Amino acid sequence: MPELLQPSSNIWRAEQADEFAIIIDADDYFAAAREAMRSARKSIFLVGWDFDASITLGRPGDRYEGPSHVGDFLLWLTRMNPELEIRLLLWNPGFLSSWAKLSNLPYLLRWKIHRQITVLLDGNHPVGSSHHQKILVIDDAIAFCGGIDVTAGRWDTRKHLDDDPLRSRPNGASYGPWHDASSFCAGQAAKALGDLCRSRWKSAGGEELAPVDFPHLPPSIEGAISFGPVNLGISRTSPAYGDQPGVTEIERLYVDMIMSAKRVIYAESQYFASRIIAQALAKRLEENDGPEVILINPVKADNWLGELAMDTARARLREALRLHDPHRRFRIYHPLTADGVPIYVHSKLMIVDDKAMRVGSSNFNNRSMRFDNECDVAFEAGQDDYLSRKLVQLRNSLLAEHLGVDPDEVTQTIGRAKSVIAAIEELREIRTVDQPGNRPTLVPYHTPAISDLEQWLADNEILDPEGPEAVMEPMERRGLFRGHLTIPSKKKFKSAIRGKN
């Protein structure tokens, strides 16, 4: 079989990772990031969409060597190591800048004159675009890449407990359960992510930076699912801007992974609003022997703009795919806590069969495919039976987390049912949103009613354009339903939301 990961097509580079691991939820990620920063000898590079200097980098309430809050912790690291250089590269969304937060301002002023800490706010992108990557690189030797920003409202454990008192913002306000994912790598793959950070730094107006050469032994990360050594691909999205051409490696990788699937596509994403992804899925769902597709989504977006743009597009695409799914192999599920509270899904992860996976910052929406800066990492198991088993273990571990059961029970039920969807239906508690139960569970997505205005905004991709050039396209050239997708009629759409499908 030809290799899935192809440089100059769906990946930027492929490099050896001496160790690769998936980290689920920010409890383990923040602890691992703290330990990695503590081990830094020369360089810390943090690239993010958002940042809050006042959050605890680790589990709130635990005692650590050095200050618990990340802003003070970075200052402390420089006092402990006068040779350490810390660089923060953050998205600058103008008046919405994270640095407008009162919690960040004192640190910004101190870091402005600090010899060892440099902050750049990067606004070098098309109007309406964003820098969405979430990368942490230590000494070009170890690195993290995923969907978790070092900011407020992200910390949670894999138990997603109801009313967890540790789940609170720096101002004391509580927030709901939050599901997320990141990855860890060591060796040449980490150095490649360092190269990406340096390129971003220079394009944001920073100086030319040389690579760092300080090898580290890969740390043991509590709670991480380790895969050992892998050949790791790095994929990017970057919009066309100035004299820089657009990069669409992530879009290509998603499509190639979907088309390569034999039995099961398991994905977690904050949104489902991408025309390209939906078209690829439609082709596979029409096949007599195509794969099952399981998508884990939040009940709704976490802001009004997301609800208007992404949730409406999800409704339209879901009903369109229903017309291409004669075998009923596509499911969208939402995770709930034991008390029926929706768990917000922020992870961006896909596993195809027992053969390949990717994780990163990109969502299933048009922005992530062509309009925002994104970074994902991926690997394929090939003929390696150990990696294949670990991919299935990861998928079943995630399903067990969402269903509130033991991973072995998930594995056994899938084996007996010969279907992941059938196993989910057997194991999940039959509930609705806000209905308490005995344990966490998954509930199916139900298409909501949407207004004519919301439908028009979604169908014409007004709030989720497919890149900078699409922003200025005439209306007749836009649309969710260009290409291999059938437009659901108003009659069928209204029938769907009444539950007659």
Q: How high is the mean pLDDT in each 10-residue block of the chain (501 residues)? A: 87 97 98 96 95 93 93 96 95 60 75 88 86 96 97 97 95 96 97 97 94 87 94 96 93 97 98 92 96 97 79 89 94 98 98 98 94 96 96 98 98 98 97 93 89 56 51 44 59 51 45
Asked if 339 and 425 sit in the same domain, the reply is: yes
Q: Are residues 466 and 428 both part of a single domain?
A: yes
Residue 197 has a pLDDT of 97
Q: Are residues 220 and 299 in the same domain?
A: no
- In this structure, which amino acid lies at residue 54? S
Domains identified in the chain, total number:
2
Residue 253 lies in a domain: no
> Would 165 be classed as within a structural domain?
yes
The pLDDT of residue 454: 55
9 Cβ contact partners less than 8 Å away, ≥ 6 residues apart: 249, 252, 256
Quote the domain boundaries for residue 27.
Answer: 13-238
Total-model pTM: 0.92
Strands 344-345 and 349-352: unpaired
Q: Which pLDDT score is estimated for 476?
A: 45
> 474: how many CB neighbours lie within 10 A of its CB?
6
User: What pLDDT is stored for residue 450 in this prediction?
Assistant: 63
How high is the pLDDT of residue 473? 43
pLDDT of residue 478: 45
Residue 82 lies in a domain: yes
Mode of pairing for the β-strands spanning 117-122 and 356-360: unpaired
Residue 500's pLDDT is 45
Name 72's Cβ contacts closer than 8 Å, sequence gap at least 6: 66
Q: Are residues 301 and 222 in the same domain?
A: no
Q: Are residues 483 and 352 in the same domain?
A: yes
Per-residue b or e along 124-155, where b marks 16 or more CB atoms closer than 10 Å to that residue's CB: bbbeebbbbbbbbbbbbbbbbbbbbbbbbbbb
Return d(Cα 462, Cα 274) in angstroms, integer: 13
What token pair was written down for 454? Answer: 């919301």
Q: Are 486 and 283 in contact (CB under 8 A)?
A: no
Shared domain for 190 and 272, answered yes or no, is: no
Give the count of beta carbons closer than 10 Å to the beta carbon of residue 174: 12
* Residue at which a domain ends, from 204, 238, 272: 238
Domain assignment present for residue 251? The answer is: no
State the Cα–Cα distance between residues 457 and 462, nearest whole angstrom.
Answer: 5
pLDDT at 484: 64
The pLDDT value recorded for residue 414 is 98
Same domain for 275 and 217? no
CATH of the domain at 101: 3.30.870.10
Count of other CB atoms within 10 angstroms of residue 242: 9
Same domain, 305 and 437: yes
Single out the residue of 156, 173, 216 nearest to residue 18, CA to CA. Answer: 216
Q: Are residues 327 and 365 in the same domain?
A: yes
**Do 180 and 328 belong to one domain?**
no
Which pLDDT score, from 0 to 100, does residue 125 have?
87
Angle at 465 between CA 130 and CA 183, to 5 degrees: 45
Is residue 243 in some structural domain? Answer: no
Note whether residue 162 is domain-resident.
Answer: yes
Are 119 and 218 found together in one domain? Answer: yes
Domain membership of residue 5 (yes or no) is no
Crossing angle for the helix pair 249-260 and 275-286, to the nearest 10 degrees: 10
107 and 154 in a single domain? The answer is yes
Distance (Å, rounded) from C-alpha 15 to C-alpha 233?
7
Q: Which pLDDT score is estimated for 94? A: 53
Q: Which tokens belong to 33?
A: 């990031």
Instruction: Look at residue 1 and tell me if it is in a domain.
Output: no
